Homo-oligomer: A and B are copies of this chain.
Amino acid sequence: MRPQIVLFGDSITQQSFGSAGWGAALADAYCRKADVLLRGYGGYNTRWALFLLHHIFPLDNSNPPVATTIFFGANDAALFGRTSERQHVPVEEYGDNLKIMRLSPTMLVVLITPPPVDEDGRMEYAKSLYGEKAMKLPERTNEMTGVYARQCIETAKDLGVPFIDLWSKMQETEGWQKKFLSDGLHLTEEGNAVVHKEVVEVFSVAGLSSEEMPYDFPHHSQIDAKNPEKTFQQQQCLARPL
């Protein structure tokens, strides 16, 4: 069985196999070594995601994933009393829910904070969709999302698992608002590249570097063309099914 890497999160995970997406880039980097399974649920907060937890990670799984990214918070941080308040989850509950999501100490769990929010970008996006009927106040603020990001980091430290402080990381770059975010919240191609780079780095530090993982089957240049049975027998592959 090939190792599995699960990407569990909200729309920023769900969209990660789109154009230049960070999930697809990860699947490409781990091709012939691990399967990258997409478990992104647009609009979900951690409260709702908990209902899916044991479906995605069955307790009786004899072959659990080797690693999982847990990437929530963008919806939990939606402000109470604004247009997305139904998605709001109090910050303490957000931290508690993340703790529940770390199901097994043998599976590498990487917590990723929500990205920063470009409030102007959110307003522009709403206006492009709804015109004059658009919200007058942003439904998320960068400041409040930062509170959730810090909660995510604190939780990771409590659990002793690695984390990616995407909220801070992205804001280190001048013009992050448009460079990394397409609508003030979701990722541009360059934003996807940041997430990809960070995930690859954390996985490598944790001993899951793609370069160091074996190919599932021999590289074609290693196959004895005159006697391929020999190559595949050595690699414990089945004999040719004829």
Contacts and interface: CB of A to CB of B under 8 A. Distances in A.
Q: Please classify how large the interface on chain A is, using the bins under 10, 10 to 19, 20 to 34, 35 or more.
A: 35 or more
A237 interface: yes
Contacts of A25: 17
Nearest to A29: B17
Contacts of A225: 86-87
A223 to B, nearest CB: 6
Nearest to A235: B51
Interface in A125-146: none
Contacts of A237: 51-52, 55
Nearest to A2: B37
A241 B37 CA distance: 22
B42 A220 contact: yes
B27 A14 contact: no
A15 B238 CA distance: 25
Contacts of A37: 35
A53 interface: yes
B55 A220 contact: no
Copies of this subunit: 2
A44 B223 CA distance: 9
A14 B31 contact: yes
Interface in A194-242: 216-217, 219-221, 223, 225, 228-229, 232, 237-242
Given A17-B27, A86-B225, A240 B43 contact: no
Contacts of A43: 219-221
A114 interface: no
Interface of A: 14-15, 17-21, 24-25, 27-28, 31-32, 35, 37-38, 40-44, 47-48, 50-55, 75, 86-87, 100, 216-217, 219-221, 223, 225, 228-229, 232, 237-242
Given A24-B24, A27-B27, A41-B217, 10 more contacts: A21-B24, A21-B28, A41-B220, A48-B220, A48-B223, A51-B228, A51-B232, A52-B217, A54-B241, A100-B242
18 contacts: A14-B31, A21-B28, A24-B27, A24-B28, A27-B38, A41-B217, A43-B219, A43-B220, A43-B221, A50-B240, A50-B241, A50-B242, A51-B228, A51-B238, A53-B238, A53-B241, A55-B216, A75-B220
